[in-house]
Amino acid sequence: MPRLRTLISTLAAVLLGATLVAPLGAAGAASAATPAASLQVPSSTGTIGRFDSSAIVTVKQKCDTGLVVQELQVDVTQGAVTGSRSGTFGAVCDGAWHALKVEVGSSTGDEYVPGAVAVTARFTVLDPVTMDPLPQAVAQGTVTLLPQVELKLGEEGSVGQFETVRIPILYRCDSPWIVSELALHVRQGDLHGDFFTDQGFRCDGAWHHRTIVMSSTTGAPFEPGYADIEASLNIQDPQEFDPVGQSQVFSRLWIAPAARAVVNSAVRNPDSSVTVTMSLRCQRPWIVGDWGASVAQNEGRIYGFAARTTGVVCDQTWKKVSIRVIGSSPFVKGPAEVSASISLYDPVHFDPVGAGGDTAVIQLR
């Protein structure tokens, strides 16, 4: 019996010891089944960093709750240009995925350029009890670098109210940069104008549309027709205010009238009225005051006019519409002077903006 009690005591001690030691090795046991740390390099877009000598890429990390982050290392290679950076970068071990932006500087002295780069990331975490490193997570991927800032012109400009011109631009810039200046120069023959601003821009990596309204500095107003545009958008560091990048555009842009009307056809009806079909086009953000048509015959002795205020929206697309015109006396077979017109107003103050018109001689049958 004493030997049996001794054997039982020894067995209990062994089991108790195993129970006490198990928590220390739990992280290691878990890593054998599922990785304690995971890493991804998403096939997404990054950006060129400041002064073109760095690349900003995104990596995603995840690690079990309670583990200790030791280091995240990110290597970026583009041809002969290489760079590496290590740190924690705000990595958190809470069992959830986290996206981290890492700026990696070139270690070769050369500059990164827009295009594809190869990214290799290594993520090391520690056991919270022993502080021993657990199996390292490694991920590789290809990321497309975009410029720090991009600027484009819209398809066409337009004549605005009060002798202004409206120039549409498209821009994108990445966080955390801020816009230091947009400079815009417009030249149309002997006319020219300049515009400068640093207000109203948002750097979040997405494309944004904006319309610049400006006047000629030479006195006379801009007119419909082609204009030469020079534009630049500059961004800077929001803390040190050092310049980061610039995008420039040199282009020839069509300046459309605020409104246009084109006579398409005129048909004499059985009741001797005339149906006029026309194409109308007007620019945002204006609203239509009215649109209509007139028909004149026999040097104006037979005349009719009709107008409407609805049915046409200003969205820069052509709209084909028709309207019936009743004459002061019945219209007859023969030539007729047919006119189409459209007038616009400011949607806020209801000031007149502009008008468009067209006239054609059409043979009525």
**Confidence class of residue 51 from pLDDT cuts 50, 70 and 90?**
low
In sequence order, which residues have a C-beta less than 8 Å from that of residue 94 and are 6 or more positions away?
65
**Confidence class of residue 23 from pLDDT cuts 50, 70 and 90?**
very low
Q: Indicate whether 93 belongs to any domain.
A: yes
pLDDT digits 0-9 by tens, 321-341: 999 999 999 999 999 999 999
Q: Indicate whether 13 belongs to any domain.
A: no
pLDDT digits 0-9 by tens, 292-329: 999 999 999 999 999 999 999 999 899 999 999 999 99
Q: Indicate whether 28 belongs to any domain.
A: no
Please give the span between the terminal C-alpha atoms of the chain, in angstroms, as a whole number: 129
* 95 shares its domain with 114: yes
* 306 shares its domain with 268: yes
232-256: average pLDDT? 93
Q: Would you say 69 and 37 are in contact if contact means Cβ atoms under 8 Å apart?
A: no
Percentage of the residues of the chain whose pLDDT score is greater than 70: 90
Angstrom CA distances, 235 to 148, 183, 203, stand at: 8, 12, 9
pLDDT digits 0-9 by tens, 59-88: 999 999 999 999 999 999 999 999 999 999
| Domain final residue pick, 118, 146, 174 | 146
Tell me the pLDDT of the chain averaged across its residues: 89
More confident residue, 40 or 14: 40
When mean pLDDT is compared across 18-22, 41-45, 105-109, 273-277, the lowest value belongs to 18-22
27-46: average pLDDT? 74
239-258: average pLDDT? 93
Q: Indicate whether 301 belongs to any domain.
A: yes
Map residue 225 onto helix, strand or coil: strand
The domain of 343 spans 259-364
* 40 shares its domain with 142: yes
Q: Indicate whether 9 belongs to any domain.
A: no
Report the CATH number that the domain containing residue 263 is assigned in CATH.
2.60.40.10
CA distance 343 to 353: 8
- How many domains does the chain divide into? 3
* 220 shares its domain with 181: yes
Model pLDDT, residue 287: 94
| Domain final residue pick, 94, 125, 146 | 146
* 247 shares its domain with 173: yes
* 40 shares its domain with 139: yes
Q: Indicate whether 30 belongs to any domain.
A: no
Quick check: pTM over 0.85? no
Model pLDDT, residue 284: 87
CA distance 169 to 134: 51
Q: Would you say 82 and 110 are in contact if contact means Cβ atoms under 8 Å apart?
A: no
Model pLDDT, residue 33: 52
pLDDT digits 0-9 by tens, 136-177: 999 999 999 999 999 999 999 999 888 889 999 999 998 889
Report the CATH number that the domain containing residue 170 is assigned in CATH.
2.60.40
Q: Indicate whether 336 belongs to any domain.
A: yes
| Domain final residue pick, 203, 227, 256 | 256
Percentage of the residues of the chain whose pLDDT score is greater than 90: 77
